[in-house]
Structure 1
């Protein structure tokens, strides 16, 4: 529901494997979990290392290791210390960076948990974490060394794993994208209900292209992270629950924005279970959700719009797709008009050639008039004004899309292409 991502590196599908680095040259089959605290305010931001943990296996990609999947609002780069060679890169967005666009960030300094997964290096490595501002310029950077033999790297996931069951298994973690569906606000008596809801979420995802045709490139595991209370916190109603990851509505005082800042708790529940992307189901019928690129999807499971919303939010957290709806006349602080957004499905036309210009029929007017033919609402690619929360100056690919309205039955062709490119990036 909130923000998230950008286009794959030009020519990514053409990079081939001629220059591909061999995973086994630099990594063992384990995960290095990086816990950070992002702190600061609208004027100044900092990054603090919190903790390093080791997980029993690596569930991420084995190819394109030194390439970014998407640009994101931040980057992690790992270098081999001895040679200085880049051996792994990934990107992300964070709730902290969204908060920086809020009025509160002008008068208050806060800290937010953030956790990232990288392959476990064989030899000492240097890791650099960089946050970028709305103009895509570095705003904070931290570089630190990791010695894989450090005795204080916390060993997690070796025993007492959270109860879980696979809903779909396309193959090995080396060849597939591992998605964990977690329980939030499901008490012990709600276990059967959670697994039923997780099945619905899984079905909903695979009802949409390109996930449907590339289903065999995914593994989906449902993880019963038990809460003390049933339901989730709704601050505006003075309802506070004790739940697995302490989620709540009213994030940034927005009724529908459902998130959690307890990111370490999410990953503690999942330790030892192969996972790369995360969907959290909230046991509530209150409408809402949130999706943050390479962090998590969190969505209500018992509202009538559960099916479309969980897919929409996964479009954010997995695919880095932006919201295509608009409600403000003034530009969002996240999307200055002078900068091309890094999300693949919105544009300011600053560098439209990097977006979906190749999918627009020559002679199509810009902006494009919204389609009225129901058959063309979701498929006729053009340059339609309104997106990224702003009515003017930001454009989306089609009149309607899963990233714009819940009633849309599909992702638009531009979103589908971007998602497919990303799936292939992770698995080929």
Structure 2
């Protein structure tokens, strides 16, 4: 690790990176401060508690020109405030695993706690950290506040040896000028570490073949890091498979057989801190279809699945740009009420007021809102398709049969869309956000709707906004 980190440090020292305030200076970037907390509660109430404050071993990788997040993404937002002046020093929108869990049936009956972290450039004085959450009107309301003194005696500052060497997959310049994507591996044995590196290269290459990542590839650095595990693959409890993996990543989150996350935030952050990172995708060394993504936290993908390319990109869309799922026929763990409030996510709408549609600028004058599409034919096919999918998992059939089912589904959907009158239009197509009615997506096809290989224009715009937030030209 030492040589690579010395080189990284040299790059950081050459770049313009101020402290917490918005102005850019020629000073070296500050350290990275991490506030670890516990977020607990149930469907009706929630609580926050401080776990610890940590100074990470690497400098802050963020863009000093954009300390304040103006993209209006995430179920939550945290703010770092100078208590003496009231000045907003740093902010970021994000979502949480707790926020998803509290929409499940389990949250109506029991309480749970989830680990979370807030990361920001280490200030040179005490600050206040505020956590805000969206209300029913999508406005942010403060739900928790804590004073943080970076010089306090209980701040963790031990510098332990790195457990593994970070690998530079793509290095396009100093971190403060680039988006730093870290690919972590879980479920790779020592003998499989070369496979992890190959998987990271392969899937990163695919990500940058998809617009708008393709056009903005030079705005990214990509790093890879993995700690070997004793057993190959991660846990899949629904089939009796339990593996002791480095990050605790597993299938069957919230009872969904394909949902893959880690609930061990400390293990995740303790490893990720040894490579520059603003976004994290975890590759699990499994063949079974699965993945997941939480905005501002991390995403996951099964690296050995036939649909790994799609999984990597789709789940990264959730994590990177807060894109909502646009599909609605696959079963999910979340419980939706009958009301259809306007989603805060940029790519779905309740279409309360067509004249104020969030992507109205893309809609042609002759495109009706809502926009017709062969919805009934699609749903009839999917009823049979989803029943077959459930049966394949129930019988524990070979993964190749599930892959064949997905391929047949993609061919059907592509053919159906190809003969629809508004196949290329941007409008408001009913069926999105896990709901058959009341929510709408902007185009018939998108990576967030089906296993299409492209993002719709609205999703591309949303992704570009986040790239702009985290990267900047070297001349700025």
SS at match of 2:266: helix
Change in 2 beyond 3 A, CA 1:157/1:180: farther
Instruction: Output aligned runs, 1:285-296, within 5 Å.
Output: 285-296=287-298
Q: CA deviation at 1:137?
A: 6.1
Task: Supply the distance in 1 between the matched residues of 2:353 and 2:82 (Cα, whole angstroms).
Answer: 34
- The match for 2:446 is 401
Aligned counterpart in structure 1 of residue 247 of structure 2, from 245, 248, 256 = 245
Q: CA deviation at 1:162?
A: 2.3
Q: CA deviation at 1:150?
A: 1.6
Task: Supply the distance in 2 between the matched residues of 1:242 and 1:219 (Cα, whole angstroms).
Answer: 30
Aligned counterpart in structure 2 of residue 61 of structure 1, from 60, 63, 68 = 63
- The match for 1:319 is 321
Change in 2 beyond 3 A, CA 1:49/1:391: same
- RMSD of aligned Cα (Å): 2.6
SS at match of 1:121: coil
Task: Supply the distance in 1 between the matched residues of 2:215 and 2:330 (Cα, whole angstroms).
Answer: 37
SS at match of 1:311: helix
Q: Could you give the per-residue CA deviations for residues 261-292 of structure 1, whole angstroms, max 9, x where no partner exists?
A: 00111110122321110000000001110000
Query: Is 1:378–1:411's contact at 8 Å kept on the other side of the alignment?
Result: no
In the alignment, does 2:188 pair up with 1:194? no
Gaps of 5+ in 1: 1-19
Gaps of 5+ in 2: 1-20, 375-416
Change in 2 beyond 3 A, CA 1:235/1:158: closer
Query: Is 2:373–2:420's contact at 8 Å kept on the other side of the alignment?
Result: no
- The match for 1:270 is 272
Q: CA deviation at 1:325?
A: 0.2
Q: Could you give the per-residue CA deviations for residues 328-380 of structure 1, whole angstroms, max 9, x where no partner exists?
A: 899x7568745211111000013663621110101311221227337988742
Query: Is 2:69–2:469's contact at 8 Å kept on the other side of the alignment?
Result: no
Change in 2 beyond 3 A, CA 1:202/1:335: farther
Query: Is 1:195–1:222's contact at 8 Å kept on the other side of the alignment?
Result: yes
SS at match of 2:269: helix
Change in 2 beyond 3 A, CA 1:354/1:176: farther
Query: Is 1:329–1:392's contact at 8 Å kept on the other side of the alignment?
Result: no
Q: CA deviation at 1:158?
A: 5.8
- The match for 1:391 is 436
SS at match of 1:96: helix
- The match for 1:228 is 230
Q: Once structures 1 and 2 are overlaid, which stretch shifts more, 156-165 or 35-44?
A: 156-165
- The match for 2:458 is 414
Query: Is 1:335–1:388's contact at 8 Å kept on the other side of the alignment?
Result: no
Instruction: Output aligned runs, 1:275-354, within 5 Å.
Output: 275-327=277-329, 333=335, 337-350=339-352, 353=356
Task: Supply the distance in 2 between the matched residues of 1:60 and 1:378 (Cα, whole angstroms).
Answer: 40
SS at match of 1:290: strand
Length-normalised TM-score, structure 2: 0.80
Change in 2 beyond 3 A, CA 1:400/1:248: same
Q: CA deviation at 1:21?
A: 2.5
Q: CA deviation at 1:248?
A: 1.3
Change in 2 beyond 3 A, CA 1:280/1:342: same
Query: Is 1:134–1:333's contact at 8 Å kept on the other side of the alignment?
Result: no
Query: Is 2:351–2:357's contact at 8 Å kept on the other side of the alignment?
Result: no
- The match for 1:46 is 47
- The match for 2:467 is 423
SS at match of 2:92: strand
Task: Supply the distance in 2 between the matched residues of 1:341 and 1:225 (Cα, whole angstroms).
Answer: 38
Aligned pair count reads 408
- The match for 2:409 is none
Change in 2 beyond 3 A, CA 1:409/1:33: same
Q: CA deviation at 1:303?
A: 0.7
Task: Supply the distance in 2 between the matched residues of 1:154 and 1:376 (Cα, whole angstroms).
Answer: 60
Q: CA deviation at 1:116?
A: 2.3
Q: CA deviation at 1:151?
A: 2.7
Change in 2 beyond 3 A, CA 1:23/1:262: farther
Length-normalised TM-score, structure 1: 0.89
Q: Which has a greater percent of helix?
A: 2
Task: Supply the distance in 2 between the matched residues of 1:336 and 1:162 (Cα, whole angstroms).
Answer: 49
In the alignment, does 2:425 pair up with 1:380? yes
Change in 2 beyond 3 A, CA 1:351/1:290: farther
Q: Could you give the per-residue CA deviations for residues 148-204 of structure 1, whole angstroms, max 9, x where no partner exists?
A: 212321125563352221110111111000010001111111111110111111011
Change in 2 beyond 3 A, CA 1:137/1:105: farther
- The match for 2:358 is 355
